[in-house]
Amino acid sequence: MGLLNGRVALVTGGARGQGRAHSIALAREGAVVVVCDTDTQIASVPYPMATRRDLDETVSSISAAGGQAYAAVVDVRNAEAVTDLVDGIVADHGRLDILIANAGICSFSPVAELSDDRWHDTIETNLSGAFYCIRAAVPHMARAGYGRIIATSSGAGRSGMANLGHYAASKWGLIGLVKSVALETAKLGITANVVCPTSVGTPMILNDSTFRLFCPEIDQPTEADARPRFENLNPMGVAWLEPEDVTRAVIYLVEDPGFTSGTVLEVNLASSANRQ
Ligand SMILES: NC(=O)c1ccc[n+]([C@@H]2O[C@H](COP(=O)([O-])OP(=O)(O)OC[C@H]3O[C@@H](n4cnc5c(N)ncnc54)[C@H](O)[C@@H]3O)[C@@H](O)[C@H]2O)c1
């Protein structure tokens, strides 16, 4: 028997990367998982976003392992579509117990050169997208007297970062949003928490745009060129986490009996150990 038998989960940005790892782990514990992702490439994102094929692969790998998963092509920037998705899950499965607001995008630009599009795309996906999901989910969770909300922020949600002002703003905002939700739902059986990963080896960072930023003097930098520079970013000297390293933190918060809420769990290779 899995610890999450009978539970229903929604994971946004679940087609690949961390969202895929979270979806697989939730299903392995017995939850029915609705895996949401978009099939639209956002123009200001400098690396390929997930495809319908990635989404189907996540769902079929869960099914092949004996789990239960469904694909939902929804862009989290679309508030109406997000509400319809959440209401539809409750109509079809009778409940929504777990929300993993993980969908996100990243791009690089100094603030002085940041385009309106890049700012709005990042805020709308990383912050408003999570807001739309949480707003739609909380009333159902409150009626059931149970809910686990986990949003994915970042190390950039705990400090400023050059070339990432738009991303950092979205990820700091997410922490304020989730802490507020934790206060509003504290007596309703719902917990709301944040995970803050440092670099994770997913297509979000393992791409040419990131390699060029980290290795500006190299003509066509590769992952091998970028790796030692990532290793220098944290005291452990590890280049990046695997998605499953973040999944452990997510599952910890999902399985918490209900007393941990409004917290930020950093999975960060000791990179914030010298800050308060
Ligand atoms: N990779 C890192 O170094 C890192 C570090 C800290 C935090 N994060 C955060 O972790 C989360 C997961 O990222 P990842 O590392 O797995 O990268 P990823 O690019 O592999 O996964 C992100 C997923 O979100 C989906 N997505 C993006 N915009 C969407 C939208 N508008 N609607 C629906 N889906 C959308 C993408 O298609 C993709 O499948 C993101 O919120 C990211 O900001 C990543």
Give the pair of three-digit tokens for residue 210: 């990131």
Q: Look at residue 122 and tell me if it is in a domain.
A: yes
Q: How far is the CA of 121 from the centre of ligand 1 (A)?
A: 13
Q: Look at residue 41 and tell me if it is in a domain.
A: yes
Q: Whose CA is nearest to atom 1 of ligand 1?
A: 200
Do residue 134 and residue 223 come from a single domain? no
> Is residue 146 annotated as part of the catalytic site, yes or no?
no
Rounded Cα distance between 86 and 65, Å, is 25
pLDDT in tens, 95-153: 999 999 999 999 999 999 999 999 999 999 999 999 999 999 999 999 999 999 999 99
Pocket of ligand 1 (CB under 6 A): 12-13, 15-19, 37-38, 49-50, 75-77, 102-106, 125, 129, 152, 154, 197, 199-200, 202-205
Do residue 195 and residue 224 come from a single domain? no
Q: How far is the CA of 1 from the centre of ligand 1 (A)?
A: 31
Would you say 10 and 38 are in contact if contact means Cβ atoms under 8 Å apart? no
Do residue 149 and residue 219 come from a single domain? no
Q: Look at residue 47 and tell me if it is in a domain.
A: yes
Do residue 192 and residue 211 come from a single domain? no
Domain of residue 24, CATH code: 3.40.50.720
Do residue 222 and residue 257 come from a single domain? no
Do residue 256 and residue 214 come from a single domain? no
Q: How much is the pTM? A: 0.98
Number of domains in the chain: 2
Instruction: Output the average pLDDT for the chain.
Output: 97
Give me the pLDDT at residue 274, please: 86
Do residue 232 and residue 119 come from a single domain? no
pLDDT in tens, 154-168: 999 999 999 999 999
Rounded Cα distance between 52 and 69, Å, is 15
Which domain range does residue 103 map to? 8-200+243-267
Do residue 146 and residue 126 come from a single domain? yes
Q: How far is the CA of 15 from the centre of ligand 1 (A)?
A: 9
Q: Which of 113, 219, 130 has its CA nearest to residue 174?
A: 130
Do residue 212 and residue 114 come from a single domain? no
pLDDT in tens, 62-96: 999 999 999 999 999 999 999 999 999 999 999 99
Q: Look at residue 274 and tell me if it is in a domain.
A: no
